[in-house]
Amino acid sequence: MAYTDTNATGSMNSDLAMQQYVMGVQSAHALEKQATQLINRQLERIESYPEVAALLQQHLAETEAQIQRLDTILGELGSSPSMIKDLATQMSGNMAAIMHTVMSDEIMKNHFANVAFEAFEQATYRSLIAMAQAAGFPQHVSAYEATLAEEEKTFSTLLGMTEQLTVKFMQLSAEGEQAKR
C-alpha cells in the first residue's frame, strides 16, 4: 500500500491519488463520449419535438467543449483518454438509444434517460472537483465547475419540460400523429 501524506492544504500526495484522479478524468471523458452518441442518435430521429432537438443541439456543442477540456487536463496530467472506456461507453450509448426506438413512447423514454444521465454527469463532476483538490490539482477545478454548471442547467431545463413534453406526446398520440419521436 502506498504511503499517503495529506499536506497543509488537504491535498493527498501519493501515486495512488494521482492514479485515481487520472482514472476519474478518463471515466468522465468516456461518459462525455457516451453522451455524444446518445444525443446524436436522438437527433437523427426527432421529428415532432423541435424544442427537444434545439436543447440537444445546444448540449451537444457543450459536450464537445467538455471533451476538449478533459483532453487538455489529461494532457497536463501526462495521460490520454482510455480508448477501451471510450469505445465501451459509446457502444453503450448507441445501444441505449437503439433500445428506445422500438418503444411506442420513444421520446418519453429518451427524455427520462436524458434527465437521469444529466444527474449522473453532475455527480461525476462533483467527484472530479473533490479528486482534483485532494490530488493537488486545484487549477483543474474551474474547468469542472464550468462543466458542472452546464450539466446543472441542462438537467434543470430537461426536468422543467417534463410536463409539457408529456402532454404534447399525449396530444400527438390522440391526433394520430407520429408521437413517439
HSE value, Cβ hemisphere, 13 Å, CA-based, for 127: 15
pLDDT score for 30? 94
Q: Per-residue pLDDT tens for 101-147?
A: 656 789 999 999 999 999 999 999 999 999 999 999 999 999 999 99
Domain spans, the chain: 14-174
Domain 14-174 classified CATH 3.40.30.10?
Answer: no
Which pTM does this prediction carry?
Answer: 0.86
Q: Would you give the distance in Å from CA 121 to the centre of its chain?
A: 5
pLDDT score for 8? 42
**Helix (H), strand (E), coil (C) string for the chain:** CCCCEECCCCCEECHHHHHHHHHHHHHHHHHHHHHHHHHHHHHHHCCCCHHHHHHHHHHHHHHHHHHHHHHHHHHHCCCCCCHHHHHHHHHHHHHHHHHHHCCCCHHHHHHHHHHHHHHHHHHHHHHHHHHHHHHCCHHHHHHHHHHHHHHHHHHHHHHHCHHHHHHHHHHHHHCCCCCCC
Percent of the chain's residues with pLDDT above 90: 71
CA distance 111 to 155: 11
pLDDT value at 79 more than 70: yes
